[in-house]
Amino acid sequence: MEMLCENGGIAKALNAKIFGNGSQTLVLSHGYGEDQTVWQFLLPLLAYYFKVVIFDMVFSPNVDPKLYNPNRYSSDFKGYADDLVSLLDQLHVKKAMYLGHSMSAMVGCMAAIDRPQLFTHLILLSGSPRYINDEGYKGGFEKSQVKAIFQNIDKNFSGWVANFAPMAVGVNNTEAIAKFENTLGRMKPEIALSAATSVFLSDLRAKLPQVKVPCTIIQSKKDSIVPESVAFYMKSKLGGDANVTILNTQGHFPHLTAPNLLLKVLKKVLKIE
């Protein structure tokens, strides 16, 4: 990403925007197949209380595809975490609260291991350290299912998008499904496959004890991507204070399908009641 410094830096490359002028900074980081507009229902309230930073992850269809390097953005998530830290450094953020959805939950954890002084609190929304089942661990997917995902992305990307979007959203919310299907479908297929590989083959369980920053884990009661049990697994392994809130809703995208319920929880977590 060094080349970004010559063209307005990483903030410009990732379309970073700042809303609000609160004394505390809150960073919102979206997951696979999304872009920064996924925060549309949370942003008005959060920007009233905080300085809110939103941006597009490097695999987003809104980012120059030439900036995506499969070797950099691998399943150790280091490349993603380095981008996050570099972005906050460029924006002169000294301390921030962080809300990461899905794979960005673990991106935040990796960044907090590298620069713990940069983060005061991590909010891990629908996150997982490993998506594939293992002995004594329910990740949600068998290896064969993940292999089929990769094959479908490679052979029939548009067909896969049309099937995966409603499954992931998990509730009959036409607007949310259409939104996710749109951003997912606008990804370049080769980037979609590479990024999906980095996510679904990730195993960051051993990193959890190194995360000393306080964490709040928020998870839908029923999520086809991340089982409820993963939230409690993460709580038991994280190296600092951690607590779990289970939302009485379904789906992997509560910020789109149950924003009021999520905001109610975030008000408590962020102490803005």
Among the options 30, 101, 121, 252, which is catalytic? 252
Active site residue 194: no
Among the options 102, 126, 128, 202, which is catalytic? 102
Residue with tokens 């009233």: 48
Active site residue 102: yes
Q: Which of 14, 269, 272, 273 is nearest to 125 (CA)?
A: 269
Q: Which of 68, 65, 51, 66 is nearest to 16 (CA)?
A: 51
**Alpha-carbon separation of residue 229 from 17, 86, 134, 189 (angstroms):** 34, 33, 13, 32
- Cβ count within 10 A of residue 64: 11
CA 258 – CA 173 distance, rounded (Å) = 10
Among the options 29, 86, 223, 255, which is catalytic? 223
Q: Which of 21, 19, 12, 23 is nearest to 96 (CA)?
A: 23
DSSP helix/strand/coil, 16: coil
Sheet holding 242-250, edge to edge: 17-19, 51-54, 25-29, 96-101, 119-125, 215-222, 242-250
Active site residue 56: no
User: What positions carry a catalytic annotation?
Assistant: 102, 223, 252
